[in-house]
A = this chain, B = another copy of it.
Amino acid sequence: MAGLRELLMVGPGGLRLAEVDPRSTPGLPEQRVVGDDPKQWSKTQVTAISEELNAYQERLYASAKEGATNRRVLLVLQSMDCGGKDGAVRNVTQRMSPAGMKAVSFGPPDQEERRHDFLWRVRRALPPVGHVGIFNRSHYEDVLIARVHDLVGEDVWSQRYDLINDFEAEQAAEGLTLVKVMLHISKDEQKKRLLARLDDQSKHWKYDPGDLDDRARWDDYQRAYEDAINRCNTAAAPWYVVPADRKWYRNWAVATLLRDAFAAINPQYPEPKFDVTAERAKLLAADG
């Protein structure tokens, strides 16, 4: 179970994105039948892992109900446009309950958010005890787009790495398990997906002409991602880089990373605070 985490976790030596092949598929289980359609294999696997996630989620939720835990889980997804964040979320969570889950997409900060420090809206969006949070983009945008497009000066963004590390360490100490995942796609794959968006009327709403401006700054973004990942890759909150040109691998890898994070927590149902036998007798005695 720990295999994939170790394979995809950024090591202490740091990361060079150019050395990660976005089409690679590290860590696939050996018992996978060779010759199987990998898409079908992944679909079945992801559904099964999502069932496991649902079981873990229920136990986490239950343990928090009795006040026995301060545990919370947060999946942070970052990627270039078309990296597959929405698709990964929908597939990974398919068997989970929306009741104990909070999914938040971070766009450009609104007027009120801009009047606060960059972590203000992030703190407000954190999952409460017993819940699972999902961040589609995150506070990392404040050292990515903010840096690449000079939304703030270098004197501002360059201080944010330490602020992020302090914030994440503080949250980890307060029971938050962070699973930070970069979905790593190639420039070619992004082009294919942008074209697909333009060629499908039902996908036009996902397209923004600004996407091409970001694409023109591809190398700057890759450098900004490398710095964000290398400078904020801590023991309390490590980064995982998932090759994401193949959607079937991406879904399987994200589901597995999240499942393994839950397995490490291994939340347990709480002991009942009532006398089971007495309640049973009372229920049976009360009426026919």
Contacts and interface: CB of A to CB of B under 8 A. Distances in A.
A236 interface: no
A215 interface: yes
Contact of A205 (B65, B195, B206, B215): B65
Given A272-B207, A283-B191, A283-B195, A99 B105 contact: yes
Given A187-B287, A201-B269, A215-B286, A279 B207 contact: yes
Contacts of A272: 204-205, 207
A270 interface: yes
A205 B98 CA distance: 18
Contact of A103 (B54, B98, B287): B98
Given A62-B205, A187-B287, A276 B198 contact: yes
Contact of A280 (B99, B105, B136, B198): B198
Interface string A199-223: 1011011110100100110000000
Interface stretch (A88-96, A158-166, A168-176, A177-185): A88-96
A154 interface: no
A: contact size bracket: 35 or more
Nearest to A93: B98
A97 interface: yes
A51 to B, nearest CB: 11
Interface string A261-288: 0000000011010101001101110110
Contacts of A269: 201-202, 204-205
Nearest to A191: B283
A113 interface: no
Contacts of A287: 187, 191, 215
Nearest to A66: B205
A194 interface: yes
Given A62-B206, A195-B280, A202-B269, 14 more contacts: A65-B205, A89-B98, A89-B99, A90-B98, A94-B94, A99-B105, A101-B103, A191-B287, A195-B283, A195-B284, A198-B276, A205-B269, A205-B272, A209-B274
6 closest A-B pairs by beta carbon, nearest first, are A62-B205, A98-B103, A204-B272, A90-B97, A209-B274, A198-B280
12 contacts: A62-B206, A86-B99, A90-B95, A93-B98, A97-B103, A98-B101, A99-B105, A187-B287, A194-B283, A198-B283, A207-B272, A212-B279
